[in-house]
């Protein structure tokens, strides 16, 4: 038994987890896979948490890929690393939406047309032609990195990162561009500020699962914008099914782990990934934050820190920014003016 919030009892209750064999239709094909389900010990209601829904869909999509030969998330990551491109740049070069690559790397199934493009991208010559066409839309940092990777491919000296995962420069801000826009809260993106926000949240909040961390980051940046007319980190936030998330968040979290800022471990009881500060030395990052920024973070942590990941996800679904923004698109910081989660 584990404890979880039952939507029928409206309280935290002991629940047991069962894996049910469910059949779904994915693009006209019947797919059967195991889906985790929570069962309340009080009222016997069956319900799924956001993490359980993610796991069930991931299981279904994995079986679907095995049945159809659709490219896997791991293969897409490996392909992107081959050219040393950020998710945003890779999407622009391939002609996708800026955040489409993120959703594919998280497990979404590519459309048939995108599948063909991804297969074509394995050919370096084809990719080079698309890269040349897309250069006017890319930042200079990304252009330089990709050109170096292509040169390495030409010379047969390209080095793939360990375990075919993300290989990044220290300047991660290139992932979301270098301009101050309505989507960055009129601040230039600073990865150090985003890391500092994570350290602050983890040092002032308990039981921080991935979804909870991402949602508190959103509220902190948008609340600070509401108070000051600019964000803390300058990071853009995308509208995804379970609420807003920092753009390229998987890459950001990976780099935070690799840099020794955060660590995470699976929580088998809650079926999630719980985060903590990797070292006391990371407290130096807090010097990146002004007193004004710390005050905003304190307000958000005090207001929302006791909520669960699912409760925070539901809260973000009431925000105008989430309701009016298209799937996978960035949310304008203008919506911070109607923020409900903090002011409600």
Q: List, in sequence order, every residue forming a beta bridge with 30; answer none if it has no partner.
A: 25
- Which region among 149-158, 160-169, 295-304 has the lowest average model confidence (pLDDT)? 160-169
**Tokens for 19?**
């894996």
**pLDDT recorded at residue 195:** 92
Annotate 248-260 with DSSP letters as a single string.
Answer: THHHHHHHHHHTT
Host domain of residue 92: 73-167
Q: What angle do CA 215, 219, 225 make, to 5 degrees?
A: 150
If asked whether residues 127 and 56 sit together in one domain, one would say no
Pick from 219, 191, 192, 193: nearest CA to 205: 219
Q: What angle do CA 307, 316, 251 make, to 5 degrees?
A: 90
**pLDDT recorded at residue 269:** 57
If asked whether residues 191 and 329 sit together in one domain, one would say yes
Identify the domain boundary among 68, 85, 115: 68
Let me know if residue 119 belongs to a domain. yes
Share of the chain above pLDDT 90, in %: 49
Let me know if residue 83 belongs to a domain. yes
Query: At residue 154, does pLDDT exceed 50?
Result: no
Query: At residue 298, does pLDDT exceed 90?
Result: yes
Distance CA 213, CA 311 (A): 13
Let me know if residue 212 belongs to a domain. yes
If asked whether residues 95 and 185 sit together in one domain, one would say no
Let me know if residue 175 belongs to a domain. no
Query: At residue 30, does pLDDT exceed 60?
Result: yes
Q: Are 310 and 52 in contact (CB under 8 A)?
A: no
Query: At residue 244, does pLDDT exceed 50?
Result: yes
Residue whose token pair is 């660590």? 263
Cβ neighbours, 10 Å, residue 90: 30
pLDDT in tens, 196-211: 999 999 999 998 998 9
If asked whether residues 277 and 297 sit together in one domain, one would say yes
Query: At residue 113, does pLDDT exceed 60?
Result: yes
Residue that wins the pLDDT comparison between 243 and 270: 243
Identify the domain boundary among 137, 167, 197: 167
Gap between the terminal Cα atoms of the chain: 34
If asked whether residues 100 and 245 sit together in one domain, one would say no
**Tokens for 220?**
């902190």
Which pTM was predicted?
Answer: 0.56
Mean of pLDDT values over 129-133: 90
Q: Are 336 and 320 in contact (CB under 8 A)?
A: no
Let me know if residue 205 belongs to a domain. yes
Q: How confident is the model at residue 40 (pLDDT cuts 50, 70, 90)?
A: very high
Query: At residue 157, does pLDDT exceed 70?
Result: no
**Tokens for 247?**
């753009």
Range with the largest mean pLDDT of 92-106, 130-144, 262-276: 130-144
Query: At residue 112, does pLDDT exceed 80?
Result: yes
Mean of pLDDT values over 103-110: 85
Identify the domain boundary among 68, 91, 106: 68
Let me know if residue 253 belongs to a domain. yes
**pLDDT recorded at residue 268:** 56
If asked whether residues 57 and 126 sit together in one domain, one would say no
Helix (H, G, I), strand (E, B) or coil at 288: helix
Q: List, in sequence order, every residue forming a beta bridge with 266; answer none if it has no partner.
A: 273
Contacts of 163 (CB under 8 A, 6+ apart): none
Q: What angle do CA 290, 296, 297 make, to 5 degrees?
A: 90
CATH number assigned to the domain comprising residue 24 = 3.10.20
Residue whose token pair is 């791991």? 74
Q: How confident is the model at residue 53 (pLDDT cuts 50, 70, 90)?
A: confident
Let me know if residue 50 belongs to a domain. yes
Residue that wins the pLDDT comparison between 177 and 282: 282
Share of the chain above pLDDT 70, in %: 89
Summary mean pLDDT of the chain: 86
Q: How far are the Cα atoms of 49, 143, 174, 249, 332 from residue 322, in angstroms, in the given order?
A: 20, 32, 25, 17, 10
Q: Are 322 and 243 in contact (CB under 8 A)?
A: yes
If asked whether residues 328 and 193 sit together in one domain, one would say yes
Distance CA 15, CA 286 (A): 38
Helix (H, G, I), strand (E, B) or coil at 67: helix
Let me know if residue 46 belongs to a domain. yes
**H-state helical runs in the chain:** 50-68, 73-82, 87-94, 100-105, 112-120, 124-134, 140-154, 191-204, 210-228, 249-258, 291-304, 309-316, 320-324
Q: How confident is the model at residue 170 (pLDDT cuts 50, 70, 90)?
A: very low
Q: Are 211 and 51 in contact (CB under 8 A)?
A: yes
Residue whose token pair is 């069956």? 46
Query: At residue 166, does pLDDT exceed 60?
Result: no
Distance CA 76, CA 284 (A): 35
If asked whether residues 222 and 265 sit together in one domain, one would say yes
Pick from 333, 178, 321, 335: nearest CA to 240: 321
**pLDDT recorded at residue 203:** 94
**pLDDT recorded at residue 312:** 94
Q: How confident is the model at residue 281 (pLDDT cuts 50, 70, 90)?
A: low
Annotate 132-173 with DSSP letters as a single string.
Answer: HHHGGGS-HHHHHHHHHHHHHHHTT---PPGGG-----S-GG
Mean of pLDDT values over 203-230: 95
- Which region among 14-23, 93-102, 130-139, 141-150 has the lowest average model confidence (pLDDT)? 93-102
If asked whether residues 323 and 235 sit together in one domain, one would say yes
Q: How many domains does the structure of the chain reveal?
A: 3
If asked whether residues 317 and 240 sit together in one domain, one would say yes
If asked whether residues 22 and 135 sit together in one domain, one would say no
If asked whether residues 296 and 247 sit together in one domain, one would say yes
- Which region among 108-122, 146-160, 268-282 has the lowest average model confidence (pLDDT)? 146-160
**pLDDT recorded at residue 18:** 94
């Amino acid at each position: 038994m584990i404890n979880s919030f039952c939507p029928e009892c409206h309280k935290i209750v002991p629940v047991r987890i069962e894996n049910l064999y469910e059949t779904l239709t994915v693009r006209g094909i019947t797919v059967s896979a195991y889906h985790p389900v929570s069962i309340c010990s009080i009222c016997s209601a069956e319900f799924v948490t956001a993490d359980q829904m993610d796991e069930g869909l991931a299981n279904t999509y994995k079986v679907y890929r095995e049945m159809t030969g659709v490219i896997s998330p791991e293969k897409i990551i490996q392909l992107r690393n081959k050219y040393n491109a950020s998710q945003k740049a890779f999407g622009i070069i391939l002609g996708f939406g800026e955040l489409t690559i993120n959703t594919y790397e998280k497990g979404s199934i590519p459309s048939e047309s995108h599948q063909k493009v991804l297969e074509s991208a394995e050919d370096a010559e084809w990719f080079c032609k698309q890269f040349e066409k897309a250069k006017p839309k890319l930042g200079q940092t990304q252009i330089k990195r990709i050109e170096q990777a292509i040169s390495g491919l030409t010379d047969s000296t390209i080095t793939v990162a360990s375990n075919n995962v993300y290989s990044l420069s220290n300047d991660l801000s290139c992932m979301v561009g270098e301009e101050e826009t309505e989507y960055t809260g009129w601040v230039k993106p600073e990865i150090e500020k985003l890391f500092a926000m994570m350290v602050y949240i983890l040092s002032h909040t308990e039981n921080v699962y991935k979804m909870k961390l991402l949602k508190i980051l959103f509220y902190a940046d948008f609340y600070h914008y509401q108070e000051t007319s600019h964000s803390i980190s300058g990071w853009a936030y995308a509208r995804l099914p379970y609420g807003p998330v920092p753009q390229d968040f998987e890459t950001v979290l990976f780099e935070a782990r690799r840099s020794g800022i955060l660590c995470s471990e699976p929580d088998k009881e809650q079926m999630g990934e719980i985060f903590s500060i990797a070292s006391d030395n990371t407290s130096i990052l807090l010097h990146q934050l002004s007193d004004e920024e710390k005050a905003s973070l304190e307000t958000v942590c005090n207001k929302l820190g006791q909520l669960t990941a699912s409760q925070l996800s539901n809260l973000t679904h009431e925000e105008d920014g989430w309701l009016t923004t298209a799937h996978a698109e960035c949310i304008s910081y203008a919506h911070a003016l109607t923020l409900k989660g903090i002011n409600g």
